[in-house]
Amino acid sequence: MPNVPNPLLRRYVEGEKLTYRMKTINEAWRYEEQADGIVKKEADGSYFEEYAWSNFISNGQEITLSPSVLSFRQQVTLDPNGHPAFPNLSQADPHLVGPLTDFMTFYVDLWLAVKTGALMHPGDHFYFKRGTPNSWADGSYVLLAGC
């Protein structure tokens, strides 16, 4: 079988600018926000995207984000040689925890599909068996712990 390029693989260009506009309904909560990113390259040659969040609207009301939230950066990657990183949610506005983790989940799921090469054609299915629970939340509550 010929070597077919992975259709899910992102072809990164260092310095490329990316923008996502998220519009979401989570049960009765509607929110929108914008993520503006730039592609960066690690010392090992792998790439990642670094995003700043802005224009947050919760249930139709614009939310003013604090300067610390506006300076917060979230890193994600689709580079199969990259290393997904969980954002430091202690630096994020509590309103943004859901959107930040939703965004990260999309990237981690797609990163896994790219890394395994299991989804190459329309209709392909993939099940990733893992020996321990993957969830850190039950869909209704976010558990917080302090040290």
Q: Kindly indicate the confidence band of residue 123, based on its pLDDT and cuts at 50, 70 and 90.
A: confident
In a domain, 138, yes or no: no
In a domain, 122, yes or no: no
Q: Kindly indicate the confidence band of residue 13, based on its pLDDT and cuts at 50, 70 and 90.
A: very high
In a domain, 35, yes or no: yes
In a domain, 130, yes or no: no
Scanning the structure block, which residue is given the tokens 């509607």? 30
Query: Which of 22-26, 40-44, 84-88, 132-136 holds the top average pLDDT?
Result: 40-44
Q: Give 3 or 24, the one with higher predicted confidence.
A: 24
Range scoring the smallest mean pLDDT among 39-48, 55-64, 136-145:
136-145
Is the pLDDT at 71 greater than 60? The verdict is: yes
In a domain, 139, yes or no: no
Scanning the structure block, which residue is given the tokens 């790439």? 47
Are 53 and 33 in contact, with CB atoms under 8 Å apart?
Answer: yes
In a domain, 132, yes or no: no
In a domain, 2, yes or no: no
- Structural domain harbouring 27: 17-116
Is the pLDDT at 113 greater than 90? The verdict is: no
| The model's pTM | 0.79
Are 63 and 57 in contact, with CB atoms under 8 Å apart?
Answer: yes
Q: How would you write 123-135 as a 3-class SS string?
A: CCCCCCCCCCCCC
pLDDT at 134: 60
In a domain, 127, yes or no: no
**Beta-strand (E) ranges in the chain?**
17-26, 29-41, 47-58, 61-62, 74-76
pLDDT at 146: 47
Number of domains in the chain: 1
